[in-house]
């Protein structure tokens, strides 16, 4: 069994709790997730099974989307509602109420694009092997350094008093909690995330996400040999590679790739690329039957080195490969 599950993570559990549940239901030990969601967050959590875990990096780097509820006027130690009863600062209600929607939108626009973002004190970022949240819980918060992040789009969807609903499209390493904190400070009133839902990670969207209990039920039934809609839930590993260039291997090249040898396909089929490829470009290599065989890296002069080789399996669900 290998592929990706698009799980709709419920509130109140960790991302690793989801991984643990999938392992238990499927009987597969090699399971991992692509991008941590906080316990109070819900939504899209891609989970890789089997050697699809080797493609998780492609999702970690993928664009993500969130729908966040930001409450102005209250700043918390965790930058979310987990510590709402222990607010680190509170602005007068009348000050928050006096903020115009235009002023909020103007402030929000300043966070679009590339910026240096200070991660929340309660985060999984490690320093000297120690997660920041553990130090923060001991009352000894680490001095974290700002990190480069990208917000592709930030949209104010609605406002209900001090509560804003914001849609966020961002790159890897982006903390929506930090955005809420920094937006609140820019407006002079403080702020925190009071609810958060991830709506997209790369090709996986919330509209198609499967509740965790449904996924574990199907996996357990499939493991027991009972009829189950596993094919509907399990996305082919190459689902996360759509848009990558494609190499089709003949039998000789396929054998070489499986042995880890450099290949020089002739003719040089490379869909998705109109000009000679740059050194270092990665492409997905398929057997003639459409099964994903490897991730290959161009070394120049049309030589391709397989950097990740996949065991033979039935043809990919995306056959013929989607460019």
**Residues carrying an active site annotation:** 38
**β-pair type (130-131, 31-33):** unpaired
What's the per-residue H, E or C state across 242-294?
CCCCEEECCHHHHHHHHCCCCECCCCCCCECCCCCCCCCCEEEEECCCCCEEE
Q: Report how far Cα 74 is from the mean position of its chain's Cα atoms.
A: 28
**Which residues, in sequence order, are CB contacts of 41 under 8 Å at separation 6+?**
9, 11, 196, 197, 198
Q: At how many degrees (to 10) do helices 212-223 and 15-26 cross?
A: 20
What is the DSSP code string of 163-195? EEEEEEEE-TT--HHHHHHHHHHHTTS-EEEEE
SS3 21: helix
- Residue 112 CB neighbour total at 10 angstroms: 15
Within 13 Å and on the Cβ side, how many CA atoms surround 272? 16
Distance CA 265, CA 299 (A): 13
Q: Report how far Cα 72 is from the mean position of its chain's Cα atoms.
A: 27
138: which DSSP letter?
T
The structure tokens listed for 21 are 């549940």
Q: Report how far Cα 277 is from the mean position of its chain's Cα atoms.
A: 27
Element (H, E) at 314: none
């Amino acid at each position: 069994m290998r592929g990706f599950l698009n799980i709709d993570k419920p509130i109140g559990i960790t991302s690793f709790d989801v991984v643990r549940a999938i392992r238990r239901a499927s009987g597969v030990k090699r399971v991992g997730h692509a991008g941590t969601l906080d316990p109070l967050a819900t939504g899209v959590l891609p989970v890789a099974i089997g050697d699809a875990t080797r493609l998780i990096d492609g999702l970690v780097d993928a664009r993500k989307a969130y729908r966040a509820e930001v409450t102005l006027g209250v700043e918390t130690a965790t930058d979310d509602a987990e510590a709402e009863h222990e607010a680190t600062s509170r602005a007068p209600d009348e000050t928050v109420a006096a903020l115009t929607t235009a002023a909020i939108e103007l402030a929000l626009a300043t966070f679009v694009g590339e910026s240096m973002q200070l991660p929340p004190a309660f985060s999984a970022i490690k320093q000297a092997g120690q997660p920041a949240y553990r130090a923060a819980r001991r009352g000894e918060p680490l001095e974290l350094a700002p990190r480069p992040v990208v917000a592709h789009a930030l949209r104010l969807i609605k406002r209900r008093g001090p509560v804003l609903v914001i849609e966020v499209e961002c790159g890897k390493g982006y903390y929506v909690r930090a955005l809420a904190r920094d937006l609140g400070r820019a407006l002079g009133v403080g702020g925190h995330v009071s609810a958060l839902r991830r709506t997209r990670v790369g090709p996986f969207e919330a509209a198609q996400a499967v509740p965790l209990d449904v996924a574990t039920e199907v996996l357990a039934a499939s493991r027991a040999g009972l009829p189950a809609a596993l094919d509907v839930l399990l996305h082919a590993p190459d689902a996360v590679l759509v848009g990558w260039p494609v190499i089709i291997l003949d039998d000789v090249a396929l054998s070489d790739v499986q042995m880890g040898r450099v290949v020089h396909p002739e003719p040089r089929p490379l869909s998705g690329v109109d000009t000679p490829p740059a050194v270092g470009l990665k492409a997905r290599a398929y057997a003639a039957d459409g099964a994903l065989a490897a991730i290959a890296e161009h070394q120049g002069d049309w030589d391709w080195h397989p950097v990740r080789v996949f065991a033979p399996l039935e043809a990919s669900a995306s056959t013929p490969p989607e460019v």
